[in-house]
Amino acid sequence: MAIKSSQSLVSEALEQIKTISTDEAYKMQSDNKCNLIDIRDIRELQKEGQVEGANHIPRGMLEFWLDPESIYFKEGKLDLNKEMVLFCAGGLRSALAAKTLKDMGFEKVSHIDGGFGSIKQSKFKII
């Protein structure tokens, strides 16, 4: 049995999803056109800080919190009609997560190139 590497899974995901820059994400958030979703672990947020106005949904709960059929669904937490803009620390987990949301049927999904590392160098405010 051949096991796919995490690298090949990320590469496949990147071919199927939309990757946006921090500037594009900042404009979308400023114009209230997206749900900015931080999928990092809570310990990462506590250590590194978080992006003002971002929703925190840990990677392990993403599918459950966004599935209206799930007992973990967070009613009203996000506007499901807006684009889901995901980010993690560096862009690998968010690529996989964005592909998963597309697989679930979400059409407007993207992730931020470079993740939180790039966000820290951008216009976003870190709190």
Q: Per residue in 80-96, pLDDT tens?
A: 899 999 999 999 999 99
Mean pLDDT taken over the chain: 96
CB environment 83-92: b (16+ within 10 A), e (fewer)? bbbbbbbebb
Tell me the CATH number for domain 9-119: 3.40.250.10
- DSSP 3-state of 126: strand
In order of 1, 12, 34, 46, the CA distances from 98 in angstroms are: 27, 12, 14, 23
Q: Which pLDDT tens digit goes with each residue over 47-71?
A: 999 999 999 999 999 999 999 999 9
pLDDT score, position 40: 98
Tell me how long the chain is: 127
What pLDDT, on the 0 to 100 scale, is given for residue 1? 82
**What pTM was estimated for this model as a whole?**
0.95
